[in-house]
Amino acid sequence: MNYDEYDRGILKLVQGDIPLESRPFSNIAQSMNISEEDILERVQNLLKKGTIRRWGAVLRHQQAGFTTNAMVAWKASSEQSDAAGCIMAGFKEVSHCYIREVPDEFGYNMFSMIHARNDLELKGIIARISEQTGLMDFVVIKSLREFKKASMEYIKGED
């Protein structure tokens, strides 16, 4: 797709951290020499075109008190996977949920990242997911330390 300099600038800015202030696009608009309304209209157009798929905040879960985090790998048959994935995705404690290609000897093909405040809460969430999805075969892979957490950059800034 062809984007003009304003759309490229907006895409570059919105893929990163937006300033935490009441009018975050005001300074961005000034730096680009266009109006704040123009920025918002262009963002809406990029959403409508599908260039921007979704818009949302990224929670820094560790800083928000969710210090017990685990990737839970589940064994899901092809018949179970869509329904189970939709159920898992409905849990507010699940930030990621994927079906992946895995080696046959591993077999755990559905992955969900679960965030909790402590081990007891994590166990409870996993139990509820297992009960609601009917998936009983899973492994819990707890996070010990975070090395990187960043949004994907698709348009690089000028170096």
DSSP letter (8 states) at residue 15: T
Each residue's pLDDT tens digit in the chain (159 positions)? 678 888 988 888 888 777 778 888 888 888 889 999 999 999 999 999 888 887 766 666 666 666 789 999 999 999 999 999 999 999 999 999 999 999 999 999 999 999 999 999 999 999 999 999 999 999 999 988 878 776 666 676 554
Residues 74, 45: one domain?
Answer: no
Residues 34, 90: one domain?
Answer: no
Number of domain units in the chain = 2
Rounded to two decimals, the pTM is 0.65
Domain annotation covers residue 159: no
User: Domain range holding 116?
Assistant: 68-142
Which residue do the tokens 């329904």 mark? 83
Domain annotation covers residue 29: yes
Residues 76, 22: one domain?
Answer: no
Please give the Cα distance from 25 to 46 (Å, whole number).
15
Q: What local confidence, expressed as pLDDT, does residue 102 receive? A: 95
**45 φ, ψ (degrees, to nearest 5):** -65, -40
Count of C-beta atoms within a 10 Å radius of residue 114: 25
Element (H, E) at 18: none
Residues 83, 129: one domain?
Answer: yes
Domain annotation covers residue 60: no
Write the CATH number for 103: 3.30.70.3460
Three-class SS state of 121: helix
Please give the Cα distance from 98 to 73 (Å, whole number).
10
Domain annotation covers residue 61: no
8 A C-beta contact, residue 127 and residue 150: no
